[in-house]
Amino acid sequence: MDRISAPLAIRADDFMRAATAAFFVAIFAVGGVYLTPDLQTPSELVSWAQLAIAAGIFSRKTMPLSALGIIALWLVALKDYDVFHLLDYLALGVGVAGYLLLASTDNARWHEKRFLVLFWGVTIALMWSSLEKFAYPNWFYPLVEEKPFLTFGIPRDIFIPMAGVAEFTLGFGLIWTPLVRRLSAVALLIIFTAAVYPFGRIDLVGHAMIMAALILIAVDPLSKRAAPVPRQPAAIAHARSLAVVTMSLALALVAVSSSYWGLHATFYGANGRATAGQISTHTYSPEHPHGPGTPAISKPDPQAHSQ
């Protein structure tokens, strides 16, 4: 893997800057969205701001302004969208903005942490969004009914939580040992790439930042550290490693799910239901919670939310 990925690994910064600029040019071309095709807006100013973010990435002097622009767009989106819904995009946005900021600094200590910040942002975003499959499995019913091949013949109500478990676990794998995180990234890339065929190129645009980060995780530009010499028999070491992985995954699930449902209860009450004024999804379907349902904004197909 090192030998195959070496040409890209040594150009990791060039790749990430080019991918980020291409993403913002793409959503500028799509028009009428905040940061992702899921978040629609009638404002033309937002689209031009995204083109300015893309332009700022070509110079290290202006990269901090692009980072600030990403955070600013997330904050501006609060006027049209519910805070809880926008949390789906916060970790990834902070990760990309943090990368741009740290990549532009001359401080070596902070500069070397740029990929770590990006990878943690992607990890948290994937683990957080996976919980939607447990909290709102009915969001995904229209997708599996329209495209039943997605479930591989597994009953719908079994497949959807299984998909949530897979997404959470692969997301967790992105912050584990070098081999595990690289294999997790490859598996997720296969899934995201396969989704382009049934859901189209807009799905590719929406997931472009995640996929770019996954490619970097797969080539692993992080500095390698020598593995410690084991001080115990291999069988004991492997058994202990398995126990640590199991406990760590369980603790991560408890921490993320507690934050998810805790904030959900804070926003929507103990019964977990949105109020009438908050009914709609990421794409303004009146059947699902978390969007403002603003009549001034057009309502796209509720099945377009493929993630």
Mean pLDDT, residues 275-293:
39
> Angle at Cα 251 formed by Cα 155 and Cα 232, nearest 5°?
110
pLDDT band at 303 (very low <50, low <70, confident <90, very high): very low
* % the chain with pLDDT above 70: 84
* pLDDT over 90 (residue 51): yes
Mean pLDDT for all residues in the chain: 82
* % the chain with pLDDT above 90: 38
Which pLDDT tens digit goes with each residue over 247-273?
888 999 999 999 988 888 888 877 655
Contact between 128 and 260 (Cβ < 8 Å): yes
- pLDDT at residue 228, as a whole number: 54
- pLDDT at residue 199, as a whole number: 83
- pLDDT at residue 187, as a whole number: 95
- pLDDT at residue 292, as a whole number: 40
- Measure the CA–CA gap between 305 and 307, rounded to whole angstroms: 6
Structure tokens of 246?
């199991």
> Angle at Cα 196 formed by Cα 214 and Cα 91, nearest 5°?
40
* pLDDT over 80 (residue 37): yes
Q: Would you call 33 helix, strand, or coil by DSSP?
A: strand
* pLDDT over 80 (residue 276): no
Ranges of beta strands (E only) in 165-215 are none
Which pLDDT tens digit goes with each residue over 214-257?
999 999 876 554 455 556 676 777 777 778 888 888 999 999 99
Amino acid at 295: P
The answer for residues whose C-beta is within 8 angstroms of residue 209's C-beta and 6 or more apart is 19, 20, 23, 92, 96
Residue with tokens 């949530």: 164
* pLDDT over 70 (residue 294): no
Cβ atoms within 10 Å of 230's Cβ, excluding its own = 11
- Measure the CA–CA gap between 129 and 14, rounded to whole angstroms: 28
- Measure the CA–CA gap between 15 and 286, rounded to whole angstroms: 40
Which pLDDT tens digit goes with each residue over 161-170?
999 999 999 9
Least confident window among 146-155, 271-280, 281-290: 281-290
- pLDDT at residue 218, as a whole number: 92
Q: Would you call 289 helix, strand, or coil by DSSP?
A: strand
Mean pLDDT, residues 194-215:
88
Provide the whole-model pTM. Answer: 0.80
- pLDDT at residue 230, as a whole number: 55
Mean pLDDT, residues 137-159:
87
* pLDDT over 50 (residue 289): no
Domain boundaries, the chain: 2-223+282-304
The answer for residues whose C-beta is within 8 angstroms of residue 240's C-beta and 6 or more apart is 232
Q: How many CA atoms lie within 13 A of 120 on its CB side?
A: 9
